Structure 1
Amino acid sequence: MQSSKRNCFRLDDFIAGWIGGASSVVVGHPLDTVKTRLQAGKGYRNMLHCVISIYRKETVAGFFKGMSFPLASITVYNSLVFGFFSNTQRLISKHRYGDGRHPCGMLDLTVASMLTGFVSVGLGAPVDLVKIRLQMQTQTVLTANGTNIPLRSVELQGHGLYRGPIHCISSILQTEGVQGLYRGAGAMILRDVPGYTLYFIPYTIFCDLLKPDNMSSLHPCSIWLAGGLAGSISWVTATPADVVKSRMQADAQLQRKYRGILHCIIHSYRAEGLQVFFRGASVNAIRGFPMSSTMFLTYELSLRFFRSL
């Protein structure tokens, strides 16, 4: 993902990231819904049981619940992630080696990845929060005294069910304020800073291994494979922090259970044991491959197109 020009800042990285983000949302959202239900919902024995339950109760449409908002917002989010990462690489190379085209070393990639993970939370936390609240609307709420009550019977501080992403945002702002949109942001930092490091670095390593020589362009199939493997690695290792983030973001104001990250970890461990932090790991591994392979392939091919003009 190095630039062929001397200018450090490239706008086409952001545009290619936007296109890649849109394609990855369409591919990955159904399994993202399953992952969220497994991590923050109740009553599912395993991934297959969750899939069957969603289909029986909500038909195919249930897997795409809350997708309109991610499709509109995650495209912007991925544009930020890939644009920031690529431009940061070039900035580091120019600062360290005097040339933005100089290949980044492993330390450079690590710094760029970690900075990308940290910056991404600013936009990613509200996006994930709204997506999860919409995905969880058919679930039961576990009250502080351990009683399960259907979410449809709960009045959200004077509001009924969220009618859509805009109504969801409005309701959160009214009941929880601006800080409510960033609930779970701390857990998201714990997920995304190491998560993006284990996303971009494996991708770079796999691309280097699959490239026939330094002068050749990587074959689309190799990009697809490298991106998919990197996505699976990243999502599986990020699962414990992702579980905490999902639980905190699904924790609505009216039935608030978790006072913070540490309380969520302790409460979840005492109630469900260590295995709770690996809930949804299999879904993450499966979902991570097609989402990331589509993301990287679309991103790289879009860049080739833009830079051939």
Structure 2
Amino acid sequence: MGDAAQDLDTKGGALDTAKDLLAGAAGGVAQVLIGQPFDIVKVRLQTSSAYSSALNAATSIYAKEGPLAFYKGTLTPLIGIGACVSIQFGAFGYARRYFEAANQANAGSSSSSLAKDLSYGQYFAAGAFAGVANSVISGPIEHVRIRLQTQPHGAGRLYSGPLDCVRQLTTRGGGVFRGLYRGEAVTIWREAFAYGTWFLAFEYLMNADAARNKIRRQDVPSYKVALYGGLAGEALWLASYPFDVVKSKMQTDGLSGKDVRYKTMRDCFAQTWRAEGARGFWKGIAPTLLRAMPVSAGTFAVVEATMRALS
């Protein structure tokens, strides 16, 4: 990342990164277990017109498919999202330390800890970097999860499980990049806006609380960590939701030939606008925001608790 990164202490930086990765993995498991039922309702609303509301979708899924349907496709995200959140926090921590080193170098001889403080633009950039790094694995993982969540119930099932889904996406979809990685361009845009906003909002709220109460950041109470994490989750989705809708549409589209409705990300945006207007980009936002508060609160609470335990 440049000369500033070379100034980071190699041993300490590697240890800090390992802590970030471990804490992120723990937060990712919590995120999936809390959020999966909300997520399947969101995806069904985004990709189908069969439901009139989030409540209607939830009750319909429960009545027709049973309670376990809310955890369809959980195995893939349970493994994968743990890795994703691990990468998010590892990449964010690395980028944060890079900016701290750069700020310290620019401050010259000043030894004040304030010289290393990140601007909020730098917090957003570090979060966006984490999101783009994460998109390499989040794209295919979410593609598989969405296919499993939206497939017909019972005898009409299209995929026998995650591995069969990967196989079909690869063979019928035109290979790894055209099939498994379908929708990757919009995924990258979504991740950059989402995690830039997520980390920025959380760091702003934590730093403001510490300054307001004249305490160290690590002394902010756990209940406030969870609250600020939850609010950051709301900000994440408000900043990135239209990209997520387009991603879901592309990742539930036909796999080949005439079954493919959306040729590109731009084409999907255009078709959605023509058919549904601005409202089409916000379908399913209510259950998403309802889900975001507990999921993001749980993620940051677990990550912060793990980091403090490792300190």
Q: TM-score range by the shorter chain?
A: 0.7 to 0.9
- The aligned counterpart of 2:206 is 207
Higher alpha-carbon deviation: 236-245 or 207-216: 207-216
- The aligned counterpart of 2:100 is 93
**SS of 2:251 mapped into structure 1:** helix
| Cα distance in 2, alignment partners of residues 46 and 25 from structure 1 | 23
**Larger helix fraction of residues:** 2
Describe the superposition over 1:25-77 as per-residue Cα deviations: whole angstroms up to 9, x where unpaired. 00001000000000012311111111111111111111111011100110011
- The aligned counterpart of 1:127 is 141
Q: TM-score, normalised by structure 2?
A: 0.87
- The aligned counterpart of 2:237 is 235
| Cα distance in 2, alignment partners of residues 252 and 90 from structure 1 | 43
Higher alpha-carbon deviation: 6-15 or 223-232: 6-15
Residues 39 and 280 in structure 1, CA contact (< 8 A), matched pair in contact too: yes
Corresponding position: 1:184 with 2:183:
yes
Question: How many aligned positions are there?
Answer: 287
The one of 271, 292, 297 aligned to 1:267: 271
- The aligned counterpart of 2:48 is 41
- The aligned counterpart of 1:156 is none
Describe the superposition over 1:160-184 as per-residue Cα deviations: whole angstroms up to 9, x where unpaired. 6211111111111111211111111
| Cα distance in 2, alignment partners of residues 196 and 89 from structure 1 | 13
- The aligned counterpart of 1:7 is 12
**SS of 2:13 mapped into structure 1:** coil
Corresponding position: 1:65 with 2:72:
yes
Residues 103 and 118 in structure 2, CA contact (< 8 A), matched pair in contact too: no
> Letter of the aligned partner of 1:178 in structure 2?
V
User: Percent same amino acid at aligned positions?
Assistant: 30
Higher alpha-carbon deviation: 103-112 or 33-42: 103-112
Q: TM-score, normalised by structure 1?
A: 0.87
Q: What's the RMSD between the two structures over aligned residues?
A: 2.1
| Cα distance in 1, alignment partners of residues 53 and 35 from structure 2 | 19
State the Cα distance separating 1:219 from its structure 2 match: 0.5
Higher alpha-carbon deviation: 32-41 or 254-263: 254-263
Corresponding position: 1:175 with 2:172:
yes
Residues 120 and 204 in structure 2, CA contact (< 8 A), matched pair in contact too: no
Corresponding position: 1:138 with 2:152:
yes
> Letter of the aligned partner of 2:149 in structure 1?
Q
Describe the superposition over 1:235-260 as per-residue Cα deviations: whole angstroms up to 9, x where unpaired. 12311111000000111314211101
List alignment gaps of at least 5 residues for structure 2: 1-7, 106-110
| Cα distance in 2, alignment partners of residues 67 and 199 from structure 1 | 23
Higher alpha-carbon deviation: 130-139 or 291-300: 130-139
> Letter of the aligned partner of 1:70 in structure 2?
P
- The aligned counterpart of 2:129 is 115
Residues 137 and 152 in structure 1, CA contact (< 8 A), matched pair in contact too: no
**SS of 1:273 mapped into structure 2:** helix
State the Cα distance separating 1:6 from its structure 2 match: 8.2
**SS of 1:63 mapped into structure 2:** helix
List alignment gaps of at least 5 residues for structure 1: 140-150, 154-159
| Cα distance in 2, alignment partners of residues 178 and 133 from structure 1 | 16
| Cα distance in 2, alignment partners of residues 108 and 238 from structure 1 | 19
> Letter of the aligned partner of 2:12 in structure 1?
N
Residues 239 and 279 in structure 1, CA contact (< 8 A), matched pair in contact too: no
**SS of 1:250 mapped into structure 2:** coil
